[in-house]
Amino acid sequence: MKKLKTLSLLLAVPCLATAAPDARLEQFNNWKFGLFIHWGVCSLASWENSWPLMRPLNKRRPGDTEEFYATLAPKFDPVKFDPDAWVKLAQDSGQRYIVFTAKHLDGFAMWDSLYTDYKITKTPYGKDIVKQLADACHRANMPLGFYYSVADMNHPDYRDTSKRISENWHGEPWRPEWPVYLDYVGLQLTELLTHYGPVAMIWFDGVAPLEEFDGRRFTRLIHELQPDALINNRLGVGGDFDTPEQHNPKGVPTKQVAGSNTDVINKTVAGTVPKAEDFRPWETCQVIDQKNWFYHQDEHIFKSPKELIQLLAVTSSMGGNLLLDVGPGPDGTIRPEFTERLLAMGAWLKVNGDSIYGTTYGPLQNLPFGRSTRKDKTIYLHVFNWPADGKLEVDGLSARITSVKVLAGGAKLVYHQNKDKLEIEVPRQAPDENDSVLAVLTR
Ligand code: GLC
């Protein structure tokens, strides 16, 4: 008996240690809204980086060739790039962190990497973009993370670059050069993690098979160089948070469905409210236009401010973060269609930010009129469909309620609670056409 007790005590210690709240993840969860920036030499040609070159030659548009792509870097000269303006835009939009494409699939380094000539300091522009952006972020206290593609179309140790990209874009891990390529990844990550101040996260991306990239090695390296940096889930080894792309999970993600790729999160179950300790942090990355991460000159369909505000509320209601993307143009400016929408989100957040920042998934996951988020004892009701009859009915709230207010302006509302049925008397007119928030304080 005694022996057993000692054993369970021994076992309990490491369990407790891992269950302790992780301050870095808590901070990440509280941020809720970030700016994703996809920018590179491909922005000159309105290309999605190297993706058009993944298609076989006979399926490409005429002129879409490796030779054409090679003409871009020698022309890249974004003279209007103003990192402080980017950071200010993120701040004014209510975004709490930035993730920037330091290196995308094409292998082009947006910093002055010692280990390649395919980099920003060899273009007519000539200055280190990552450095300028990092300095601007640090001046403004804006956390900055780096997107880093482990796939690299330009590197001869990643793939035989005498061949067309369509033939070997998954890389060639069976060649003797592969370990040399992994060393290159390690050296570049070391540069990013040692030359540019605190790094909020390394946001990996790659192409299958991810197991070939030795995720454990790079996780160790990051933990060693910047223990506070978070790591996303795209390196085949789980990471700190999941990254559903261009969509939200159906329900609140839990550790049981944690993924080492972008798809596992689809197994979540709509309507469930997990225990706090089972929650798996996540961030959805989405675009403002229809499908593009990088700048596309002729793109003209964009999500409305209302859609974007509701997307943020829906994401928060399931405990996630929204990493919303812009693709700056070749001159370094962010197009007005993006800035207008981001600033509209910022204006909404100025008034309603309490219902987003620092919240977690709401206790009501099946509301017919909208969504819920929660912070301590306050439940925020995000009402997308405002009731026409002046009565908002909320089912399923068992906690005793002590007040109900309109978050914008603080007007107190009359309510009636009967067991788990709540009826709130609301003004006829929705307080906010995008998302009207009611703050429900519980005992
Ligand atoms: C997609 C795109 C890639 C982009 C990423 C962001 O995988 O193909 O270019 O960087 O989404 O999540």
Per-residue pLDDT tens, the chain, 443 aa: give them: 233 333 333 333 333 333 334 899 999 999 999 999 999 999 999 999 999 999 999 999 999 999 999 999 999 999 999 999 999 999 999 999 999 999 999 999 999 999 999 999 999 999 999 999 999 999 999 999 999 999 999 999 999 999 999 999 999 999 999 999 999 999 999 999 999 999 999 999 999 888 899 999 999 999 999 999 999 999 988 899 999 999 999 999 988 755 555 555 667 889 989 999 989 999 999 999 999 999 999 999 999 999 999 999 999 999 999 999 999 999 999 999 999 999 999 999 999 999 999 999 999 999 999 999 999 999 999 999 999 999 999 999 989 999 999 999 999 999 999 988 999 999 999 999 999 999 999 99
Report the top-level CATH class of 8-359: alpha beta
Atom number in ligand 1 closest to CA 38: 10
For the stretch 162-186, what's the b/e string if a residue is b when 16 or more beta carbons lie within 10 angstroms of its beta carbon?
Answer: eebbbeebebbbebebbeebbebbe
Q: Is the CB of residue 319 less than 8 Å from the CB of residue 255?
A: no
Q: Is the CB of residue 70 less than 8 Å from the CB of residue 123?
A: no
**Torsion sign across C-alpha atoms 208, 213, 215, 221:** negative
Q: Tell me which of 205, 289, 290 to substitute to probe ligand 1's pocket, judged by most ligand atoms within 8 Å of the beta carbon.
A: 205
Residue 81, CA distances (Å) to 94, 109, 340 in order:
21, 16, 19
Beta strands 391-395 and 360-361 are: unpaired
Report DSSP state, residue 76.
Answer: -
Residue corresponding to tokens 């309990």: 12
Q: How confident is the model over 366-423, as pLDDT tens digits?
A: 999 999 999 999 999 999 999 999 999 999 998 999 999 999 999 999 999 998 899 9
Q: Is the CB of residue 78 less than 8 Å from the CB of residue 332?
A: yes
Alpha-helical runs (H) found in 140-273:
165-168, 178-194, 215-225
Q: How confident is the model over 1-55, as pLDDT tens digits?
A: 233 333 333 333 333 333 334 899 999 999 999 999 999 999 999 999 999 999 9
Q: Is the CB of residue 370 less than 8 Å from the CB of residue 383?
A: yes
CATH hierarchy code of domain 362-442 = 2.60.40.1180
CA 104 / ligand 1 centre spacing (Å): 9
Give me the DSSP letters along 357-376: TT-EE-S----SSEEEEEET
- Closest protein CA for atom 2 of ligand 1: 293
Beta strands 144-149 and 97-103 are: parallel
Q: Is the CB of residue 318 less than 8 Å from the CB of residue 356?
A: no
Atom number in ligand 1 closest to CA 101: 10
Residues with CB under 6 A from ligand 1: 38, 48-49, 205, 245, 285, 293
Question: How far is 103 from 158, CA to CA, in rounded Å?
Answer: 14
Please give the single-letter amino acid code of residue 136: A
As given in the structure block, the two tokens for residue 257 are 């469905």
Q: Tell me which of 103, 235, 293 to substitute to probe ligand 1's pocket, judged by most ligand atoms within 8 Å of the beta carbon.
A: 293
Domain map of the chain by residue range?
A: 8-359, 362-442
Count CA atoms closer than 13 A to 247's CA, side-chain side: 9
Alpha-helical runs (H) found in 287-440:
305-317, 336-352
Long-range CB contacts for residues 3-10, cutoff 8 Å, separation at least 24: none
Question: How far is 362 from 355, CA to CA, in rounded Å?
Answer: 10
Residue 243's nearest CA partner among 228, 258, 255 is: 258
CA 76 / ligand 1 centre spacing (Å): 22
CA 54 / ligand 1 centre spacing (Å): 14
Residue 103's nearest CA partner among 237, 206, 227, 233 is: 206
